[in-house]
Amino acid sequence: MENIEKQRVSSSRVKQLRIVTICLAVVAAALMGVLAWIWIDRGKMIDELKEEKDVLTVQLQDLRLDYQGLSSSNDSLNVQLDREREKVDQLIERVQQTEATNRAKIRQYEQELGTLRSIMRNYIGQIDSLNTLNISLRQDAMAAREEARKSQREYTALKSTADEYARKVEVGSVVKGRNFGLVAITSAGKETDRSSRTEKLKCCLFLMENEIAKRGPRQIFIRIKAPDGVLMTSDAESLFTSAGETLIYSATREVDYQSSDVEVCIFFGQSGMFRKGIYTADVYTTEAKLGSVEVVLK
């Protein structure tokens, strides 16, 4: 009986040890499963953190490219842009030197990225405003230049018109002549057509009425040409200027012109200086040639 009891007790202990062993094995297997899950989950988390770091790096590089594309005509603003580009480069370097598992740092860098983006948007707004202002100023400058060119064209046109009016007034103010006559007269003052009896040649004309002509003394000149075309003059120093040309005159006379018709007669010559042929008298003022007239002597 005693042996049987011992065998029963021994068998019971064996069963208990078997149960404990099985439980321990189950627990060990469960622990291994948990550890395996933790390891796998940790690996996934590390991969995700690495991916976040890579995405952050790409975003920072894109931001650097965006900053590089910004420029303005304002020197002060360009200095600020250079400063922000340097900040982006420094942040990229810090991200690359930081372990992907350092989630706190990665989150901090993401916040700094957001700040840099916000600052860049502000600069873009400033640059757009400057560009808009520059465009407006350029348009204003173009409009001003066009207005200046228009004013210059108008001035040129007005000056041309004024010059034309002045020329017309100048031309219109020139005194003209009419009813030219050239006759030979004797020593007794009678008209003749005989060269042998001719004492002088008498040239008469009327200065015509002209309201815009200058009033006052006017000098009238005649140039007598002999039948052979030679200019007849009593003094080689008898010079005058008409319309800018210097000429020799045969005879001259001053008349008081008061913008109304006035008759002028000029005498030239002396006994014995005339022979047969056609004599021509050209009549001038200092402004212009008034006309010509002929006489035939037999």
- Give mean pLDDT, residues 118-141: 72
What pLDDT shows up at residue 143? 74
What pLDDT shows up at residue 114? 83
What pLDDT shows up at residue 125? 74
pLDDT bucket at 192, cuts 50 / 70 / 90: very high
**Percentage of the chain with pLDDT > 90?**
30
What pLDDT shows up at residue 257? 93
Residue among 271, 243, 261, 270 nearest 204 (CA): 261
What pLDDT shows up at residue 164? 61
What pLDDT shows up at residue 22? 75
What domains are defined for the chain?
Answer: 27-172 (no CATH), 177-297 (2.60.40.10)
Residue 279 has pLDDT above 90, yes or no: yes
- Give mean pLDDT, residues 83-111: 80
177, 208 Cβ separation under 8 angstroms? yes
